[in-house]
Amino acid sequence: MDIILTFFVAYLDKTTYLLVDDHKKIAWKYSSSWLAFDIISTIPSELAQKISPKPLRSYGLFNMLRLWRLRRVSALFSRMEKDKNYNYFWVRCAKLICVTLFAVHCAGCFYYYIAARYHDPGRTWIALSLGDNFLEQSLWIRYVTSMYWSITTLTTVGYGDLHPVNTREMVFTIFYMLFNLGLTAYLIGNMTNLVVHGTSRTRRFRDTIQAASSFALRNQLPHRLQDQMLAHLCLKFRTDSEGLQQQEIIDSLPKAIRSSISHYLFYSLMDKVYLFRGVSNDLLFQLVSEMKAEYFPPKEDVILQNEAPTDFYILVTGAVVVGEAKAGDLCGEIGVLCYRPQLFTVRTKRLCQLLRLNRTAFLNIIQANVGDGTIIMNNLLQHLKDMNDPIMEGVLIETENMLARGRMDLPLNLCFAALRGDDLLLNQLLKRGLDPNESDNNGRTALV
């Protein structure tokens, strides 16, 4: 049945890396590779002995050909190692155990076979333990004795109670010990890799912490900065070890998949942000695709007062101090949109996830959506008015002056200036050659 099913299983073409499901190609590939061995390995041993020449009947060669089926066991383990439903560590351990038990079993059985076929039973290795009549002992005792010899030889313990006596046994033992050199190296190498893989991340983390601590002490950094450095490194290790490296995973995917994932995770949050209230769905989709999700530990500075406005952030989870921000609130947007040094220092209160958007990427997207740029500016100005804060009132006046002089980087249309009744801005936009008949999202022009 297994052979028949193989004729209907597609295979991966190693030249094109495409699955081939053409039945003729599948049949040809299988027939020219493993079909003959698979058929031979299924022939019943009794039938094989009857059709074999008399000198070969006692050796059970066709029984040994059944070992060919083990290649399917190896393929099974290979698939399980790549299957996310199984733990790689335990699958690998199970494979190593099976390899070891199979090697020990085969060596013990073959070694016993040599003793059982020797013309003088008293001059065999097993006779040293069970006596000359070992053939009369139970099968279980003989098997355990054979496995005992095989395991003590494999592990290089060699108690000396069982050892080769005749030449045949000596020759087999020589080859078995040479084989054990490779098998032991294989087992130790694989186990070392498994252990090192589990501890290497912790070792690298400790080395990084040690290097950061040395850097801080060498440069006499304040304790607050030292704590922030170490907290950030600890958070990075924690997110990596717990599988929370969200942005790294997203960045490794094609752009279309990245955009779809970001849309699923963050679109509903972006739709609630005051700055983007009323903008088109196309703009929101583009903005979400460009945002980067980042984690910040407690008491870490996200934005410093008076630093250059290169990015702004949207809080996803956690809390930051600028007032008291909640999920969906913005940080640093005033500095980015008005292109002025950041007004406040923004610091996390607890573990936070924030979406970061670069100012250049943001403006590039807005340039292709002039109408949405006008809506965003209106939302910002209204937000500054609603805050009823003396500092924000000064920012509002300064922003309106910049608008009037045409010094804002956001693309604005004539409808925006007409709606505000700003003659100076209207004059500046007309000098730039903007079309007075251009309509906004509601179909209105500056003349209506």
pLDDT at residue 134 tops 70: yes
Beta-ladder partners of 301: 347
pLDDT category, 241, cuts 50, 70, 90? low
Answer yes or no: are the C-beta atoms of 384 and 399 closer than 8 Å: yes
pLDDT greater than 70 at residue 4: yes
Please provide the DSSP assignment of 20-80 as one string: E--HHHHHHHHHTTTHHHHHHTTS-HHHHHHHS-HHHHTTTHHHHHGGGGHHHHHHHHHHH
Is the pLDDT at 423 greater than 80? The verdict is no
Question: Is the pLDDT at 447 greater than 50, yes or no?
Answer: no
Percent of the chain residues past pLDDT 70, beyond the cut: 77
Q: How confident is the model at residue 160 (pLDDT cuts 50, 70, 90)?
A: confident
Residue type, 300: E
User: Do 353 and 293 meet the contact criterion of CB atoms below 8 Å apart?
Assistant: yes
77, 82, 104, 107, 204 from 93: Cα distances, Å: 11, 14, 17, 21, 25
For residues 114-128, give the mean pLDDT.
Answer: 87
Q: Band of the pLDDT at 414, cuts 50, 70, 90?
A: very low
Summary mean pLDDT of the chain = 77
Question: What is the distance, to the nearest Å, from the Cα of residue 174 to the centroid of all Cα atoms in its chain?
Answer: 46
pLDDT at residue number 429: 52
Write the pLDDT tens digit of every residue in 358-381: 888 888 887 777 677 778 878 887
pLDDT at residue 370, rounded to an integer: 66
**Mean pLDDT of the region 407-421:** 52
* pLDDT-derived band at 171, boundaries 50, 70, 90: very high
| Residue 177: per-residue pLDDT | 92
pLDDT digits (tens, 9 = 90+) for 276-312: 888 888 888 888 888 888 888 888 888 888 888 888 8
Average pLDDT over residues 422-429: 53
Instruction: Write down the pTM of the prediction.
Output: 0.52
Of 23 and 105, more confident: 105
162-173: average pLDDT = 90
Q: What is the token pair recorded at 101?
A: 């038990």
What token pair was written down for 379?
């939302």
Question: Is residue 129 packed enough to be buried (19+ CB in 10 Å), middle (13-18) or exposed (0-12)?
Answer: middle
Least confident of 53-67, 134-148, 212-226, 369-383: 53-67
Whether residue 152 is predicted with pLDDT greater than 80 in this model: the reply is yes
Provide the H-helix boundaries in 242-389. Answer: 246-251, 255-270, 281-290, 333-338, 359-367, 370-387
Q: From residue 368, how far is each of 22, 283, 359 by CA, in Å?
A: 48, 9, 15
Mean pLDDT of 46-58: 62
Q: In sequence order, what DSSP letters do the residues of 403-426 get, joined into one string?
A: HHTT--SS---HHHHHHHT-HHHH
Q: Which domains does the chain have, with CATH numbers?
A: 25-194 (1.10.287.70), 247-366 (2.60.120.10)
Task: Say whether pLDDT at 35 is over 50.
Answer: yes
In 3D, which of 344, 322, 415 has the Cα closest to residue 375? Answer: 415
CA-nearest of 66, 70, 48 to 57 is 48
Tens of pLDDT, residue by residue over 53-65, are: 666 555 555 566 6
> What are 196-205's pLDDT values in tens digits?
776 777 777 7
pLDDT at 170: 92
For the cut 80, the answer to whether the pLDDT of residue 101 exceeds it is yes
Higher pLDDT, 68 or 295: 295
Residues 145/130, Cβ–Cβ less than 8 Å? yes
Four-CA torsion 77, 82, 85, 86, nearest 10 degrees: 50
